[in-house]
Amino acid sequence: MTYDKAQNRTRSLKLWRYFWVAIYALMLLAPLAIILIGAGTGARRIEREFLRELSVMLGFVGLALMGVQFVPTARLPFLSEVFDMDRLYALHHGFSIAAFGLTLAHPLFLFINNPYTLQLLNLATAPWRARAGVVSILLLIALTIMSVWRKSLEIRYEFWHWMHTFFSVAIVGLALYHIFEVDYYTSVPAQRVLWWVLAGVWSVMLLYTRLIRPWWMLKHPYEVTEVLRDRGDTWTLVVEPVGHAGLTFKAGQFAWLVIWKSPFAISYHPFSFASSAEDPGRLRFMIKELGDWTGKVKEIPAGKRVYVDGPYGTFTPDHHPAPGYVFIAGGSGAAPVMSILETLADCQERRPLWFFYGNWSWDTVVYRDRLEDLAERLNLDVIHVLESPPDGWQGETGFITDRVLARRLPDTRQDYDYFICGPLPMIDNVEAALHTLGIPSGQIHSEKYEMA
Ligand SMILES: Cc1cc2nc3c(=O)[nH]c(=O)nc-3n(C[C@H](O)[C@H](O)[C@H](O)COP(=O)(O)OP(=O)(O)OC[C@H]3O[C@@H](n4cnc5c(N)ncnc54)[C@H](O)[C@@H]3O)c2cc1C
């Protein structure tokens, strides 16, 4: 893509971003409209205290916030084209905490307004509408604890993901039942319609995530053609489409892989494409052995059927036109950089490029030979930074710091865009180093290898 074309594209993506933010805001504010519609109307309406109304409003907004969480996590292609996944997930985490606070405030204000309502907490005697509300909130508390402290509680990712889905649906379903049973802000037809529209949008998102997309993936399988060993406990998985043309992606994007299970199971693992976007018929993924799932990749036989859900992400030069690029990666964070470099080489790119590649030792540098070849084909400077260098090593050592970057980059460094990928601590440190060097935040793009 030419520089001008890419700039036009960036502008149009920005407009789309505003559009979707407006839709999202509308969905969040819809419950307030439901309250306004009802003000002073409806046969069952009685005068209610301010604290009680406030409590209802907080509960409604909390529920709306929870419901719209089905949108950013649905991995809708048109949204992931516009927003980067990191931001969508960060939004999901932030909004979920806000939803938790607002929803919890709902019963608290009710109790303050009228302490007599505390007896609704007794599940044995409370009416069904109160039981549904109480159980919904208990599940929300459990879900929040499991999500915030998943790692300290040593909950396995797959189990957590399954519980997360189940709890979310139960929480929203029970909350809706509670609202309809209380039947105060559902007494006017327009209110009921609005609730049904909201619930409909949330359900469609869920159906898309759990049924429609998995079904599409089942009909568009891939097959493993090779599993190649590389350095540093890393494997290259090569897959090809079976009976279909495959997907097209932009260099730097990622996909979710499903290998030992059906696409209907909740067992998706994200991996960056490591191959050229110019050759979408043969996808390569660079996978580092880290845990249960990645540890089994080496055992995959050729011919094994797998599923690829993608592409996702905006970590790609296509979205960020610049006169030159600097890539900074650690370990398996090199995967998207390899895809970008391979693609640029296939497109005979001549813009200046730098790749700062941090690794533990020379023996753990994955794709070393490919990088040498790419440096010949591109205007590329590869700078290896080793924590434990071999004897006689003349290159950079330690971590990728502002000093290393300043030493190796020209004075024009503020003109370029920076792509950082790898473990969270590395990303944080490199972002800080780039800020020290005066690189504007808008020119720094990061791909975090962690979502939950
Ligand atoms: C956008 C993105 C792109 C990635 N690209 C690559 C790549 O190209 N090469 C590479 O080696 N690694 C990549 N990763 C990391 C890779 O997805 C995890 O290392 C892998 O899923 C861990 O699985 P495991 O069961 O073997 O390890 P575990 O020990 O079970 O998990 C280690 C940690 O990885 C995370 N994780 C586990 N399962 C998942 C999952 N299903 N979805 C999201 N996170 C999970 C959790 O935080 C967990 O604590 C990427 C991650 C993201 C978010």
* Domain assignments of the chain as residue spans, ordered by start: 3-216, 219-312, 317-448
What DSSP string runs through 316-385?
Answer: SGGGS--S-EEEEEEGGGHHHHHHHHHHHHHTT--S-EEEEEEESSGGG-TTHHHHHHHHHHTTEEEEEE
Answer yes or no: is the C-beta of 363 below 6 A from any ligand 1 atom.
Answer: no
Atom number in ligand 1 closest to CA 289: 26
Residue 315 · residue 420 · CB < 8 Å: no
Cα–ligand 1 centroid distance for 428 (angstroms)? 18
CA of residue 174 to ligand 1 center, whole Å: 32
What was the pLDDT predicted at 336? 97
Phi, psi of 240 (to 5 degrees): -130, 150
CATH of range 219-312; options 3.90.1720.10, 3.40.50.2300, 3.20.20.70, 2.40.30.10: 2.40.30.10
Residue nearest to atom 6 of ligand 1 (CA): 271
Does residue 292 line the site of ligand 1, with CB under 6 A? yes
> Is the CB of 118 inside a 6 Å radius of any atom of ligand 1?
no
| Residues shown for the chain | 452
Tokens of residue 162, six digits: 């399954």
- Index of the ligand 1 atom closest to the CA of residue 294: 26
CA distances from 218 to 114, 192, 211, 238 (A): 54, 37, 11, 19
- Scanning 118-229, the segments in alpha helix (DSSP H) are 128-148, 157-182, 189-207, 213-219
- Give the position, in ligand 1's atom list, of the atom nearest the Cα of 335: 8
Q: Look at residue 37 in the predicted model and tell me its pLDDT.
A: 77
CA distance 188 to 44: 9
CA of 44 to the centre of ligand 1 (A): 53
- Classified by CATH at the fold level, domain 3-216 comes out as Four Helix Bundle (Hemerythrin (Met), subunit A) (1.20.120)
Q: Residue 283, by phi and psi: left (phi above 0), alpha (psi -120 to 50) or beta? A: beta
Among 155, 157, 254, say which to mutate for ligand 1: greatest number of ligand atoms within 8 Å of CB: 157
Is 335's C-beta closer than 6 angstroms to any atom of ligand 1?
yes
Q: In 3-state terms, what secondary structure has residue 406?
A: helix
CA 35 to ligand 1 center in whole angstroms: 43
CA 77 to each of CA 222, 266, 312, 314, 361: distance values in angstroms, whole numbers, following the listed order: 19, 19, 7, 11, 38
Q: Which run of H or of E encompasses 390? A: none
Looking from the CA of 127 toward its CB, the CA atoms found within 13 Å total 6
Quick check: CB of 332 below 6 Å from ligand 1?
Answer: yes
For residue 300, report the distance from its CA to the centre of ligand 1, in Å: 18
Q: Which atom of ligand 1 is nearest to the CA of 267?
A: 41
The answer, yes or no, to whether any atom of ligand 1 lies below 6 A from the CB of 157, is: yes
For ligand 1, whether the C-beta of 265 sits within 6 Å is no
* Residue 420 CB partners (closer than 8 Å, separation 6+): 327, 328, 329, 333, 426, 427, 430, 431, 434, 444, 445, 446, 447
Whether ligand 1 lies within 6 angstroms of the CB of 288 is answered as: yes
Q: Give the contacts of 373 (CB within 8 A, at least 6 positions apart).
A: none
Q: Which CATH class is domain 317-448?
A: alpha beta
Mapped onto helix, strand or coil, the DSSP state of residue 225 is: strand
Q: What is the pLDDT of residues 192-232, one digit of tens each?
A: 888 899 999 989 988 998 999 999 999 999 999 999 999 98
Same fold, 3-216 and 317-448: no
User: Distance (Å, rounded) from C-alpha 354 to C-alpha 59?
Assistant: 51
Integer angstrom CA distances of residue 238 from 280, 284, 331, 357: 11, 5, 19, 23
User: What is the C-alpha to C-alpha distance for residues 364 and 382, in angstroms, rounded to an integer?
Assistant: 16
Specify the residue with its C-alpha closest to ligand 1, atom 29.
Answer: 291
Question: Does the beta carbon of 452 lie inside 6 Å of ligand 1?
Answer: yes
Supply 372's token pair.
């040498």
Ligand 1 centroid to Cα of residue 270, in Å, is: 6
Reading the chain (452 residues) residue by residue, the pLDDT tens digits are 556 666 677 778 888 888 988 988 888 888 888 888 765 555 455 567 888 889 998 999 999 999 888 887 778 877 877 887 777 888 888 999 999 999 999 999 999 999 999 999 999 999 999 999 999 999 999 999 999 999 899 998 888 988 999 999 999 999 999 999 988 888 888 888 888 999 999 899 889 989 999 999 999 999 999 999 999 899 999 999 999 999 999 999 999 999 999 999 878 899 999 999 999 999 999 999 988 899 999 999 999 999 999 899 889 998 888 999 999 999 899 999 999 999 999 999 999 999 999 999 999 999 999 999 999 999 999 999 999 999 999 999 999 999 999 999 999 999 999 999 988 899 999 999 999 999 999 999 999 887 65
Report residue 235 CA to chain centroid gap: 24
Tokens read off for 65: 């916030």
Distance from Cα 255 to the centre of ligand 1, integer Å = 12
Ligand 1 lined by 293 (C-beta under 6 Å): yes
Residue 187 CA to ligand 1 centre (angstroms): 47
